[in-house]
Amino acid sequence: MRENKKIKPVAIKELIDQFFKEHKKAGESLQSLIIEKWQQIMPENANKHSKPITIKNKTLIIAVSNSAWLHQLTLKKIEILNTIKDMLNTEDIIDIRFKIGK
């Protein structure tokens, strides 16, 4: 037999507020958080030669200044990815792609 549970209506504002509490601060996107914390995320000196560009399909695209930095950061890809996940407490980035450019 089915129990008759009463569900109280919830205001949309409360739902939206709850959503933003659970998914970072209102108005802050993951990409802006990564940009803000870039110096702490990247290995020493690498932040001067790299820049987060965008996030596509849970992949962070990072522009690097030249092929030497592309190679160096590719070797540290897992370390950088884990730092992002730990520092920002997110699983929304699952891969990193490096490209030469601005």
pLDDT number for residue 5: 73
For the cut 60, the answer to whether the pLDDT of residue 27 exceeds it is no
Q: Is the CB of residue 95 less than 8 Å from the CB of residue 54?
A: no
For the cut 50, the answer to whether the pLDDT of residue 26 exceeds it is no
For the cut 60, the answer to whether the pLDDT of residue 77 exceeds it is yes
CA distance 22 to 18: 6
Determine the average pLDDT of the residues in 78-93.
Answer: 94
pLDDT number for residue 7: 80
Query: Superfamily for 29-100?
Result: DnaA, N-terminal domain (3.30.300.180)
Q: Classify residue 50 as left (phi > 0), alpha (psi -120 to 50) or beta.
A: beta
Least confident of 9-13, 15-19, 43-47, 82-86: 15-19
pTM for this prediction = 0.71
pLDDT number for residue 10: 79
Structure-model confidence comparison of residues 2 and 87, the more confident one:
87
How many other C-beta atoms lie within 10 A of the C-beta of residue 73?
Answer: 20
Q: Render pLDDT for 42-75 as a digit per residue (tens, 0 to 9).
A: 988 999 999 999 999 999 999 999 999 999 999 9
